[in-house]
A = this chain, B = another copy of it.
Amino acid sequence: MLTRLELAKDWVRDSGNFLKENITAPLEITEKTRYDDLVTNFDQEVQEQLVQKIHHHFPNDAILAEEDQEKQSYDDKTPHLWVIDPIDGTTNFIVQKDNFAIMVAYYEFGVGKFGLILDVMQDKLYWCDSHKAFCNQRELVMKEASLAHSLLGVNSYMYRTNYSGLLDLSQHTLGVRIIGSAGISYGQLLDGKIVAYFSNLQPWDYAAGSIIADRIGYVTMTLAGEMPQLNCREKVFTAPAKLISEIQKYIRN
């Protein structure tokens, strides 16, 4: 019998192929909280594909999914929890037809068991089991680099307003990159293209990335230095464990 991880890899790949096949299809675009917070019929369709498959195979598992109108709250007493972002980087999906990701994470009693990030247009599936992390078949390792010789992935608002000192921090690096998708930014982190990623994220934005990155020595925490709670939007960052204390020198609360 296939494991949840094996099934999830197939499901994410299937939904990625569905999006690629429909990449030029007309979109129904709806504004959510504001004019630049968009959702399409494809976000909803991909979420439904994933949710139906989980329900079919694991009817007792809980699901926290971005496009659900009413979201239940989960904690470390939930035995089986899936966290789903059907299309991360919806604006990129709409405007660029590129630089978006499907993300799925799975927790047991609050412990991340696996994560999956599919960079759909580049055909790159970042994933991990309980021990190791991979991009497609290639095992990932952390690239050693000092802050001074690295780039940061940032959220544009937090960068330009020097939120908690993020701009100050960036000036001790080679600069910032702004991609517009947490999933693609986590992919860049896992590939060693950025050394750390800072943004204002919902659980489904960081769940998969934080679990995969954990396997190769990264830590995910809030700017206040706490564990993120999987129940609200928080300012979080993911960075190599050995750079945390240097980063925290620049971060103000």
Contact = CB atoms under 8 A, between A and B. Distances in A.
Which of A92, A174, A188 has its CB near the most chain B CB atoms (within 10 A)?
A: A174
A177 B192 CA distance: 19
Given A95-B193, A193-B95, A193-B98, A175 B156 contact: yes
Nearest to A151: B95
Copies in the complex: 2
Contacts of A96: 151, 188, 191-193
Contacts of A192: 96
Contacts of A149: 95
A180 B180 contact: no
Interface of A is mostly: loop
Contact of A177 (B35, B175, B180): B180
Contacts of A36: 174-175
Interface string A155-179: 0100110000001000000111111
A167 B160 contact: yes
A177 to B, nearest CB: 6
A90 to B, nearest CB: 10
Contacts of A156: 159, 175-176, 178
16 contacts: A35-B148, A36-B174, A36-B175, A91-B151, A92-B151, A96-B191, A96-B193, A151-B180, A156-B176, A156-B178, A159-B160, A160-B167, A175-B180, A177-B179, A177-B180, A178-B178
